A and B are shown apart, each in its own frame.
Chain A
Amino acid sequence: MAQAPVLKVENLSTRFKTGQRGKFVHAVDDVSIELRSGEIVGLVGESGCGKSTLGRTIVGLEKAHTGKVFLDGVELNRLNGREARERRRAVQYVFQDPYSSLNDRQTIGETIEEALLIGGLRSREERAAQITKLLDQVGLASVVKDRYSRELSGGQRQRAAIARSLAVNPRVLICDEPVSALDLSIRAQVMNLFLDLRKELDVAILFIAHDLGLVRQASSRVYVMYLGKIVEHGPSQELYDNPSHPYSQFLLSSVPEADPTTERDRELPMLAGELPSPVDPPSGCRFRTRCPLVADRCSLHLPEPATVSPAHSSACIRAREMHAKRRSIFVEHRAA
């Protein structure tokens, strides 16, 4: 805890206009998160919960409505022009689909060189040396620099995209579903690359994904998001072992394990209703419309995050009680 966070997001909200006047999609609503150097932090939640919008707002692909993003203590959204561009370069984004995130009319070498040029590397020889070094760092042979992205496999493309994002010496990588477009047998290789990069380059990684198993193993801490809000946050082992928000419990118990002896007769959990619209989110707790534990006071005000154990907090009025029980409220659905 002694180390200052490299990236700090404070009370960030991002909203989008709808067709109607005065109505907005509240995609990210008053979210605060922190990342330290050399740390992989997971961000999980269902599609539409705002996790990608949060990532995109951090790098400046979306404009924040309110809130602040600090990089090494410098507030990014206050900067303008050249300084903003230079500072923001330290936060890079790795996209889900390496098929569309690379320019198919450039060779991999040209793609990386462009990033190096933007980073201010003037000498051609240095750039060439740097390209070889970056490709090596992501586990690609240097001959790849003369290939076009269409000549590479999905795993190789994603490695090339990672090499490009590393070209400007980032301090933070925002990885949005970086392995979900890859085949199962290739995923582990790319995940291990992230583990290596974190150590070698001391870079902080925000790992946005819906594969909860991958997130658990890769991340030291995890944020769980629901309808624009962080509902639970904690060290990943602790959070997965003892989720203390009804939504996290639901999410975690929805994943079928690859074990037919336990899965065959298990009733997968169900929730009432559908995800509410982020245009008109429920008052008070966002999850109350579907929560099996809902009480009258849940609609009155938003529950404050309650600390349930060191560095583990849950925004539910019954968080401590749930944490003490160490038992999912969806556990009755698990047949013995």
Chain B
Amino acid sequence: MQHDATLKVDNLTVDLLTSKTAVRPVDGVSYSVRKGECLAIVGESGSGKTVMNFAPLGLMPAGVSTELSGSVKFNGRELIGLEDGELRHIRGKSIGFIFQDPMSALNPVRRIGRQIAEMAELHLGLSPSAAEARALELIKLVGIPDPEARLRQYPHELSGGLRQRVVIAIALAGEPKLLIADEPTTALDVTVQAQILRLLKDLRKRLDMAMILITHDMGVVASSADDIVVMYAARAVERGPVEEVLTQPRHPYTRALINAIPKSSDTVGTRFRGLSGMPPILGAPNPGCAFAPRCDLAVAECRHTRPLMSQATHSTVRFACPIANTESEIHGTGTCS
């Protein structure tokens, strides 16, 4: 069981149907994350990175009918096709969530302590007084100073960093095996971000949890994650160990994305490197490669043949660009490791 994945996603496709439109925000994506490890999912808005994590757990807006295909196994149990009641037992208990904005994730009119204790009562079946004790333990665990006093406070009395720590404490209340953090530091300052990243890393190791970190910040990925999935327009374009993907990106989109990050070696006043064009608008699945209109390597075939994920030469990295893959074989750029 040691090597079994905590979460294993295979060929997941999500279709969203409203009364007027049908879109496919996730199209045939596979990834997995093991105990104690952190998987980063990177992509721009609309790339499907959030939907892909929330739809299989039944977290979708009302009024939208969601169709899932493929497989999502959590500790060996298939989640697709589960009744909502069963999903509710998993959500928040075995799988904890951290959202981007700690203010809207907390109830503004209830004390911090009650909000944490409530989760312990619900998921662990503790008595109210045992749950209060558990809340105190949790608030100490996430490193909030003066814990007893904080339990009696309301969210508005705390700073952004402390609020996010409270959100983390709530996520941990059910003793989750998997923590899904959706942009957990985007709303925070860099100095506070550093503290939260440190805390998450520390908790993951101490509690031996698997973690999925949804982000768009490659700096956050570099400091926290073991593996990475890069999403573009509903599909995974590259997947592999962070060390390799960030230092030696293979897919043209990943390359351009990493190249676009300002470096401390860039001369002041020089132009910013970026991508031309715009990300595609979510709609019907693209028959070819969605990145083709913005890609330097694109050939005519890219527009109508869907690129499949394939393994890079001498590497565990997989990426979806046959053009770059052949190129690396010819020039041997994929072999230096």
Contact = CB atoms under 8 A, between A and B. Distances in A.
Interface in A164-202: 183-189, 191-192, 195
A184 B257 contact: yes
The 9 closest A-B pairs by CB, nearest first: A188-B274, A268-B194, A256-B219, A258-B218, A188-B272, A213-B262, A263-B222, A256-B223, A185-B275
Interface in A255-294: 255-264, 266-271, 274-275
Interface in B142-164: 159-162
Contacts of B272: 187-188, 191-192, 195, 214, 217-218
B198 interface: yes
23 contacts: A183-B44, A183-B279, A184-B216, A184-B257, A185-B275, A187-B260, A188-B274, A192-B271, A195-B271, A213-B263, A214-B262, A214-B272, A220-B269, A236-B268, A240-B264, A256-B222, A258-B218, A258-B221, A263-B219, A264-B243, A270-B198, A271-B191, A275-B159
B218 to A, nearest CB: 4
Interface in B223-281: 223, 242-243, 246-247, 256-258, 260-264, 266, 268-276, 278-279
B131 to A, nearest CB: 28
Contacts of B193: 254
A218 B190 CA distance: 19
A185 B190 contact: no
A260 B222 contact: yes
Given A254-B193, A260-B243, A217 B268 contact: yes
Nearest to A275: B159
B194 A258 contact: no
A257 B246 contact: no
B222 A217 contact: no
A210 B194 CA distance: 14
A268 B222 CA distance: 12
Contact of A237 (B161, B216, B243, B268): B268
Contact of B268 (A185, A220, A269, A271): A220
B279 A185 contact: yes
A153 B277 CA distance: 11
Contacts of B127: none
A256 B162 CA distance: 20
* Chain B interface residue number, banded: 35 or more
A236 B264 CA distance: 11
Nearest to B274: A188
Contacts of B162: 274
Interface in B260-311: 260-264, 266, 268-276, 278-279
Interface string A126-157: 00000000000000000000000000010100
Contacts of B83: none
B247 A259 contact: yes
A219 interface: yes
A256 B191 CA distance: 10
A31 interface: no
Contacts of B274: 185-189, 191-192
Given A46-B189, A186-B274, A220-B268, A254 B261 contact: no
A216 interface: yes
Contacts of B326: none
Chain B CB within 10 Å — which of A217, A235, A254 has the most?
Answer: A217
Interface residues of A, number: 48
Nearest to B281: A153
Contact of B191 (A183, A251, A257, A262): A251
B160 A47 contact: yes
Chain B CB within 10 Å — which of A186, A220, A240 has the most?
Answer: A186
Contacts of B316: none
Nearest to A153: B278
A184 B44 contact: yes
B267 to A, nearest CB: 8
Given A195-B271, A217-B268, 6 more contacts: A195-B272, A213-B262, A214-B262, A258-B218, A260-B243, A269-B194
A93 interface: no
A250 interface: yes
A268 B269 contact: no
A306 interface: no
A262 B243 CA distance: 10
B333 interface: no
Nearest to A238: B268
A90 interface: no
B197 interface: yes
A61 B199 CA distance: 39
A267 B270 CA distance: 31
A47 B186 CA distance: 13
B141 interface: no
A153 B279 CA distance: 10
A258 B246 contact: yes
B195 interface: yes
A212 B261 CA distance: 11
A52 to B, nearest CB: 13
B190 A255 contact: yes
A295 to B, nearest CB: 22
Contact of B258 (A236, A255, A258): A258
B195 A270 contact: yes
A265 to B, nearest CB: 9
Contacts of B221: 258, 260
Contacts of B268: 216-217, 219-220, 235-237
A270 B161 CA distance: 13
Nearest to B241: A260
A214 B262 CA distance: 6
B335 interface: no
Nearest to B162: A274
B45 interface: yes
B222 A258 contact: yes
Contact of A264 (B192, B198, B222): B222
Nearest to B161: A274
A263 to B, nearest CB: 4
Contact of B260 (A185, A251, A260, A268): A185
A46 B194 CA distance: 13
B222 A259 contact: yes
